[in-house]
Structure 1
């Protein structure tokens, strides 16, 4: 994984020796917002106006956090406004790379850089911290707007509406207060919970992560038995934030991260719900299972030291979902 310290790259994996074997995710550091008029958003500085061709995304097809932004780019019709580069799925001692030796990896169309960390140091030669995806880049100002996926999807949800005419709202004002605790539980116990289980280095840390994970999946299964979507009859950001974990669950989290009390396909409502979201117009094209399977099994040497990428499972996300009755 490694990290930048004052612009210099330091190799190394997550250090769990001081946390009782527990994985703790670091916070993102670039927190500016694109807005319709360029005014400052809830955090960071202003000056990032929604304009066609100005912004660029660096993503990993393998990464659920980056996947959120690709989904919103598709849902909101931003493909012609926001360009994209895709990193190589292997994340080894040099971190994410912009190599092109895997189908779908694009290289760096802006600078021709080899490593994603060079995009961070292009913005700040003395940058420090983890080098993560997604990265939202401003071509005009030559800097990073944001590397916080939860905020990038909210920018994409509304900032460009005046340019696209697409007013679909996945963060509706009347549901925001109700969405927040749902997002919070899903983030802590599911989105990040699978990582806390998978990267745990003690039994106690693993147990402390895996129990809440499945408690929440049970809760979600019951919720989706009565509601078509998490917040009722409307798709919201809460659904898309959950989807990117669910679509990876049986392929990587169940086995590789030892989240194996049950599979996604063992939950009738969750599995049908995942299929419905996968079949949403444009979404299937954002799912790249080859990158997903390769990245997790090949990159995490501490979890899978022989880097064997397993053959399965076989999942049919295109099967009828039957959720129209809810």
Structure 2
């Protein structure tokens, strides 16, 4: 069976297009009682960007903290906060920030219409009811969260997304101006998430012309951003992120993302950082990509954390291995259908020990 893939239905791109957000949301406000939740990274508290958010009198500006990776408990807490804020559900949820903030916005929009805890929906196609209309305004580029059908959450037992067609944003606002001032390390880590998406997709057994078309262009844009000096690098990386997300949508990521999930679950390492730590240990599987990644790291002047697993005991190591090896589609994309005979627990342990 071929996947009947759902795309983001509406996208606006261009420097300054954020100013059109109020106009974009207006069709959702069909009555005077309709209200919008703006799920916004709390790093923007009191900033010029916050003052530009098109708040109406009944709207809710919900600042969220993403110092830690998004957790199911936090999603449930935020969802309850939104539900009790007004007598009716919001007509729209808007996520403003990086990948973690956009994932929180997606998760809230889903849990407003699906009963129970978000832990019940960690997996593929478990969501039963359409989400509240939800839009993304990325202020970082690289994660592909603005276009993906998943919202990655860490639960009490696993790190796994709410993977569903209902997760896909209804609207994406791509304004490269909003990424100005991002710290160098953060810019690199999220950009490398995009780069690694492409390497894993293009080297995978799931590769097809749909994924290849998007992945090759995204990879080309990443190389322009991190190996060359372009005045419009922000525009290029924003489109690389979008295209990179599209590439894995009809294929899959691979070994790096599987292992990084283990790092994030146990050690709380942010996704982009975890991907870089894991990718640097995977020269055996992605030799050309890892070599180029190291050149990009040197040119950017960023050095990734080292020896993050050196003090872990057997129980902790086994927890990371359990999380990583639980992501079967990622390993099949990387190694083929008999991946379990190749990526044994001992092999996974040896890779983690290199990190």
TM bucket normalised to smaller: 0.3 to 0.5
Higher relative contact order (CA 8 A, sep 6+): 1
Bigger helix fraction: 2
Q: TM-score, normalised by structure 2?
A: 0.33
So what's the TM-score if we normalise by structure 1? Answer: 0.35
